[in-house]
A and B are shown apart, each in its own frame.
Chain A
Amino acid sequence: MLLIELPVANKMIEDVISNDQECCGFFFGYENAISRTITHAMVVDNSSSRDKKTYFEISIEDYMNAERFAEAEDLRLLGVYHSHPNHPAIPSECDLEMALPGFSYIIISVIDRKYTKIKSWQLNQHLQFEEEEIEFKDEIEFILPSLN
């Protein structure tokens, strides 16, 4: 199970509705045998040389920064989030091809720059994606940001 602190969920969602391209970043926190808790997110640039509306890539420099941040803050780099503009929050063949075991992959579906769905996926032992249950850690109402 993935527990996401509310401000962190909002940070990721605010990022992915900010433009029409695939947006991406890392998230951090801690884990035990049954759950992972996300306490921080890091927004990074989509550095893909392909069409950024349908592809994303994170630079080596940004990856190294994420590892350094985790080490400095005594957190664990838990995974990567990215958006699927005008597509469902379901991993594509391309997502599967590039996925690593041990990471959680959050996909946020955005339709016409409006948040619609957040899902998380992890590779199983057969290197296929399985959906992870998500819960938001705060009890207060989850207010989705929207562009007016």
Chain B
Amino acid sequence: MATVIIPTPLRKFVNNSARIDVTAFSISDIVNQLAVSYPELKKHLVDTSGRIAPFINIFVDNQDIRNLNCEQTEVLEDAVVCIIPAIAGGSKR
């Protein structure tokens, strides 16, 4: 099983779990499984078209999926998948 590490601010949507084990073959599988199991998490994980939200980064074994095969990135059985929110802001707008 792959292990998904949930960032602190989103843990309240997954019963306060820091880690969730999933059986999946791709990032897309993982996102879909999480979205089905935790509907409140889905709102913060994917956009209205169902794609990974732009402010969410996903790393597989320390590699950004944007540098791999994006949502189709393969996930091995013992992979560690980190969900990392973008942290930014500013006073301008």
Determine if A55 and B7 form an interchain contact, defined as CB atoms under 8 angstroms apart: no
Interface of A is mostly: mixed
Determine if B91 and A101 form an interchain contact, defined as CB atoms under 8 angstroms apart: no
A residues 26-77 with Cβ under 8 Å of B?
Answer: 48, 50-51, 54-58, 60, 63-64, 67, 70-71, 76-77
Residues of B within 8 A of A76 (CB): 8
Determine if B9 and A102 form an interchain contact, defined as CB atoms under 8 angstroms apart: yes
Residues of B within 8 A of A85 (CB): 91
Distance to closest chain A CB from B32 (angstroms): 21
The 8 Å CB contact of A63, one of B10, B64, B87, B89, is: B87
The 8 Å CB contact of A98, one of B55, B57, B82, B84, is: B55
Give the docked Cα–Cα distance between A93 and B11 (Å).
25
The 8 A CB mask of A88-132 against B (1 = contact, 0 = none) is: 000111110111111101000000000000000000000000000
The 8 Å CB contact of A101, one of B5, B12, B87, is: B12
Determine if A54 and B92 form an interchain contact, defined as CB atoms under 8 angstroms apart: yes
Residues of A within 8 A of B12 (CB): 101-102
- A sample of 10 cross-chain residue pairs with beta-carbon separation below 8 angstroms, ordered by A number, consists of A54-B91, A55-B92, A57-B87, A94-B89, A94-B92, A95-B89, A98-B89, A100-B9, A100-B85, A102-B8
Residues in A lying within 8 Å of B, measured CB to CB: 22, 24, 48, 50-51, 54-58, 60, 63-64, 67, 70-71, 76-77, 80, 82, 84-87, 91-95, 97-103, 105
